[in-house]
Amino acid sequence: MARGEGSYEPCPTASSITQELPGTISTSELPPQAGAPSKPSTKPQAPKPLIQEYQPPLCNRSVALSHWIGGLPLVVFTLEDWADRLLDAFLDSDSDAARSIVASALDAGHEPRQILLHCVGAALVKLSGRWREGQASMAHLYVAGRIADGLADALLAQAEANVTTPEDAPRIVLGNAPGDYHGLGRMLVRSFLRASGFGVLDLGLDVAPESFVRAAQEAGSELVCISALMYASAARAADVRSALNAAGLRHVKLLVGGAPFRMNRALADRVGADAAGESALDAPALAASLLGWRPPDKGGSR
């Protein structure tokens, strides 16, 4: 049934989220402060009225749709609602709750990449805001990053399960900037590029300049993509550009993305990038433009 008509068909693969992710991270693995137990509430509970308005749990904003079918309320959450719930799980360092929330979002009919972008990614942005306001610790960010990486692996495994790469597709080298350990954005870029028909060689986190060079040489790639979340690591994309030039690969294009490049548009020019993306969604169009290659359409024609 189409979205907005009152119900969704359940996603048959949602259960894989609860199968592929690890259990709750033990407090022995956490940095200081992350495993501190919360004090039970001593606030007296008011008696519940016999008839009360339905409120979705852990959701602090209005839902997209609510009406009655057979005398029961039907509530449809938006991805922002799921992001709010996931933020609570991140603040509790609770991976069990996090994977349950993501599985529920899948059951509600949301597409894995959209959940990753607008639910998991949005919850991390919200958590970063809490940290800047002094309402969350670095330990929260660390654990949330680990949980988010696990969610991303499971979601993208579903999203890319039936993706095939055309034989003539260009190979793109992708990795996090030297010193950058935040992989969610990079994994989204990889998924959107592959879904658009590109071949992607993903080098992972904290990729040294010489590793980018070696991968580009071995793959015959004409495009290197760098993702970064922190300004210090984003600035080191300049080292990658210098290493490519020194190896005789001046013709290889450099595409960068991440929060530092969004907040400081001049940074892309300073590191020698040929283009910068606003989000992972921009990667396929920018890559196609830089490479002069048109991905195949849905019918397989070029």
Residue 44 placed within a domain: no
Q: What is the dihedral of CA 221, 223, 224, 228, to 10 degrees?
A: -150
Does 82 share its domain with 128? yes
DSSP 123: H
Coil, helix or strand at residue 189: helix
Does 153 share its domain with 72? yes
Per-residue confidence of the chain (302 residues) as pLDDT tens digits? 444 444 444 443 444 444 444 444 444 444 444 444 445 455 445 444 333 333 333 333 333 343 344 445 445 678 899 999 999 999 999 999 999 999 999 999 999 989 988 899 889 889 988 988 999 998 998 899 889 988 988 998 888 887 777 777 899 999 999 999 888 889 999 999 998 889 999 999 999 999 999 999 999 999 999 999 889 999 999 999 999 999 999 999 999 999 999 999 999 999 999 999 998 889 999 999 999 988 766 544 44
Residue 115's domain is classified under what CATH number? 1.10.1240.10
Per the structure, the complete domain to which residue 243 belongs is given by: 171-291
- Considering 126, 159, 192, which residue would you say is the last residue of a domain? 159
Dihedral of alpha carbons 194, 180, 94, 74, sign: negative
Alpha-carbon span 238 to 265, nearest angstrom: 15
Residue 175 placed within a domain: yes
Alpha helix (H) residue ranges in 170-282: 184-195, 209-219, 231-235, 237-246, 259-263, 266-270
Please state the domain count of the chain.
Answer: 2
Residue 129 placed within a domain: yes
Does 110 share its domain with 222? no
Does 175 share its domain with 276? yes
Residue 177's domain is classified under what CATH number? 3.40.50.280
Residue 214 placed within a domain: yes
Say if strands 72-76 and 65-69 run parallel, antiparallel, or are unpaired. antiparallel
- What tokens appear for 55 in the block? 């409120």
